[in-house]
């Protein structure tokens, strides 16, 4: 087990409304016992109180967002949770967060699954999760294509319109105003601002998402990743 640097060592807890098995007290004890056994000196434990399972969106988890912001800003080098299910509620959320941790050289420890990304086994497990996520995306894409094909045959075509484009019939037409904003967001990120910083800038300047909602760090991450990875964006996006 590799415990590195002078940066912060953080435990994260998500409280369960359903069972005492994952109560704050139980999770704190498990994390503190783990750290004591592995000679890790925790700097703090971040708690999301009263958050249920899949019913709450990530942007409502203040503790989670706080930890992600610290990771993004390079303030953390070790994150400890009792289980992957307490950190993220779906494979996509877990994959995206671990992807950021890998880029920021953060060791991720999940006690129940015995995952330690500073070890070869831990990295293998995370890579396996990543592969499962990519496979899940491929299956979703295939189902989406099949669904769109059926709808098109019935005279109806529905798919998500990416930020920076407008839909005219089955075609995507560039939205110049949104494209200018995308480039501004990208410049802010390239200049060292975090995704959270970019979302705050957008909110301060009264910019809205495609659906007219307030920007969050997750929105910014997703939109910029799509923008950077898809120079030629096709009508079908998942």
58/227 Cα distance (integer angstroms): 22
* Model confidence at 234: pLDDT above 50: no
pLDDT of residue 53: 46
Mean pLDDT confidence for 183-207: 89
What domains sit in the chain, N to C, each tagged with a CATH number? Answer: 8-127 (3.40.50.1390), 159-229 (3.90.1750.20)
114/141 Cα distance (integer angstroms): 32
The total number of residues shown for the chain amounts to: 238
Record the tokens describing residue 233, joined without a space: 């964006």
pLDDT tens-place string over residues 87-111:
876 777 787 888 889 889 999 999 9
Asked if residue 41 lies in contact with residue 78, where contact means CB atoms within 8 angstroms, the answer is no
Mean pLDDT confidence for 42-50: 87
Number of CB atoms found within 10 A of residue 224's CB:
18
DSSP state of 63: H
Confidence of residue 124 (pLDDT cuts 50, 70, 90): confident
115/126 Cα distance (integer angstroms): 8
Q: Is the pTM of this model over 0.85?
A: no
63/55 Cα distance (integer angstroms): 16
Confidence of residue 226 (pLDDT cuts 50, 70, 90): confident
Record the tokens describing residue 141, joined without a space: 């894409």
């Amino acid at each position: 087990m590799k415990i590195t640097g002078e940066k912060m060592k953080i435990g994260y807890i998500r409280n369960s409304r359903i069972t005492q098995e994952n109560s704050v007290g139980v999770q704190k004890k498990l994390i503190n016992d783990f750290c004591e056994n592995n000679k890790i000196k925790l700097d703090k434990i971040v708690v999301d109180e009263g958050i249920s399972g899949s019913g709450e969106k990530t942007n409502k988890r203040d503790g989670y967002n706080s930890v992600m912001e610290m990771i993004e800003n390079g303030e953390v080098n070790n994150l400890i949770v009792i289980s992957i299910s307490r950190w993220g509620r779906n494979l996509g959320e877990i994959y995206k967060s671990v992807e950021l941790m890998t880029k920021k050289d953060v060791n991720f420890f999940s006690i129940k699954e015995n995952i330690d990304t500073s070890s070869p086994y831990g990295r293998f497990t995370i890579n396996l999760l990543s592969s499962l996520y990519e496979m899940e995306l491929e299956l979703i894409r295939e189902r989406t294509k099949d669904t769109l094909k059926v709808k098109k045959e019935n005279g109806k075509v529905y798919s998500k319109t990416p930020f920076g484009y407008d839909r005219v019939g089955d075609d995507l037409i560039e939205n110049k105003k949104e494209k200018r904003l995308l480039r501004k967001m990208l410049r802010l990120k390239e200049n060292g601002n975090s995704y959270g910083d970019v979302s705050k800038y957008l909110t301060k300047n009264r910019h809205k998402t495609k659906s007219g909602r307030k920007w969050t760090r997750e929105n910014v991450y997703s939109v910029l990743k799509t923008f950077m990875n898809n120079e030629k964006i096709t009508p079908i996006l998942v």
